[in-house]
Structure 1
Amino acid sequence: MMTMRHMMRRAGVAAVLSSTLILVVSACGGGGEKKDSSSPSSTPAGSTADDKAVGSAEESAPSSPNEPIAMVKGDGGVEMSVLSARRDEGGFLTVDGEIKNTGSEGFTAPVQWSGTEQSVAATGRSFAGMTLVDSKGKKRYYVLRDTDNRPLTTYAYSSFIKAGDSLPFFAQFPAPPAGTTQVALQFPGFPSTSIELS
């Protein structure tokens, strides 16, 4: 009989402990849910703080990504803007830009823009007269040629540029060593100008 009473007492204590544990677990779970539902959300659903930071950066980005890295005025009211000078795979350097006639009259491109080499004369008008000078490495780089001896640059363009019109151009050169970050661009009719390589 004593044994029976002892067993019933232990069973009662176990039941009370079980109920207490269930209440404690429920309270913890409920408290967590209440905290989540009552705390204000700092970002909209499906977005993160990183997303908001990226959005702000995009909104504040400049609207014109093609800002010149160099600008120089030449003869006859024309202006040369160099938009980029980037290294390409294969050891090349490509210079992109445009020449704009900022004068009030038409401008005729001089034959010197094409360079003095007779081998490229068959190509017609080109930018083969453009060179890059690496003063640190003491080297001059000329516009590359393809297998048919045509310069790897803008060519066969109209020699006449109307007032207010622009002539886009590119010219490809052998890339200077990786340690060279700046070169001087030289082109007939324009003062030498320094450009940064990317």
Structure 2
Amino acid sequence: MDLRDNKSRLILIVVALGAALVIAVASCGGGGDDGNEDDGAAGSSQETTEGGGDSGDDEPTDDAESGEGESEVVLAEVTGEQEITMTVTSAERQSGGFLTIEGTIYNGGGEAWGTAAWAGDESELAGNDFSMAGATLTAREEGKRYLILRDTAGRCLCTGFGLQIEAGDTMSWYAQFPEPDPATTEVDFQIGQMPPATIEIR
């Protein structure tokens, strides 16, 4: 009985010492790793926050600035015919002897608006209905008046608006004319009962 008791005690002591040693090693190793990981996590968290914060703050500013820079240049703007506002944003000469004019039409009235009178008085253009077909250019320096270009079927090289422009809506348009004399830098653009819009051409 005594030998068995002694063996049992020795076994218990060895097991206890082994367990204590394992716990001690694990706690030392784990503590070091935990510390390093915490330091590393804190460092990367700070770097991400600082780097991401800076780039995040810069990007909206850049976008806002570029958005402002891209705003359209208004060459001329006139209002008439039931609060219709016509804006000219571009007038450029193109190869082939054309002058292309672009802009927008805004219906500032309280109801939908459209008129076939904008097709002009020419019988050849009557089928264009509500469009920029009746637009003209007057070059006072040359003493000439230019009519819209059209194809052999009488379709104008311009925008057709369909039936109407709804109240509060804005529609883009273009119109092509024969190119004025190279020395001409200014023309009067006019359509329907709208006031003439004086624009510079390049």
Residue identity over aligned pairs, in percent, reads 39
TM-score if structure 1 supplies the norm length? 0.65
Q: Is the 8 A contact 2:102 2:174 kept in 1?
A: yes
In structure 2, the residue matched to 1:179 is 183
Give, in whole Å, the separation in 2 of the partners of 1:93 and 1:62. Answer: 28
2:114 is equivalent to residue 109 of structure 1: yes
| Residue of structure 2 equivalent to 1:169 | 173
**Gaps (5+ residues) in structure 1?**
1-55
What's the TM-score, normalizing by structure 2? 0.64
Q: 3-state SS of the aligned residue for 1:112?
A: helix
1:91-129 Cα offsets, whole Å, 9 max, x none, are 1000101100122x1232222101112222233332111
Match of 1:196 in 2: 200
Structure whose residues are more often helix by fraction: 2
Whole-angstrom distance in 2 between the partners of 1:166 and 1:61:
20
Q: Give the CA RMSD over aligned residues.
A: 1.9
User: If you compute each CA radius of gyration, which structure gives the higher value, 1 or 2?
Assistant: 2
1:182 Cα deviation from its structure 2 partner: 0.4
Q: 2:74 is matched with which residue?
A: 68
2:93 paired residue number: 87
Where do 1:1-198 residues align within 5 Å? 62-103=68-109, 105-155=110-160, 157-198=161-202
- The one-letter amino acid paired with 1:108 is W
- CA positional deviation for 1:61: 8.7
Gaps of 5+ in 2: 1-61
CA contact (8 A) 2:76 2:87 kept: yes
2:185 and 2:163 map into 1 onto residues whose CA distance is 33
Deviates more, 1:87-96 or 1:143-152: 143-152
Question: CA separation of 1:73/1:124 partners in 2, compared to 1, >3 Å: closer, same or farther?
Answer: closer
Moved over 6 A (4+): none
Name 2:44's counterpart in structure 1: none
| d(CA) in 2 for partners of 1:167, 1:92 | 23
CA shift for structure 1 position 75:
1.4
Query: Aligned with 1:82: secondary structure?
Result: strand
Work out the number of aligned pairs and report it: 139
8 A Cα contact 1:71 1:79, kept in partner? yes
AA aligned to 1:89 is: S
The answer as to whether partners of 1:76 and 1:107 remain within 8 angstroms in 2 is: no
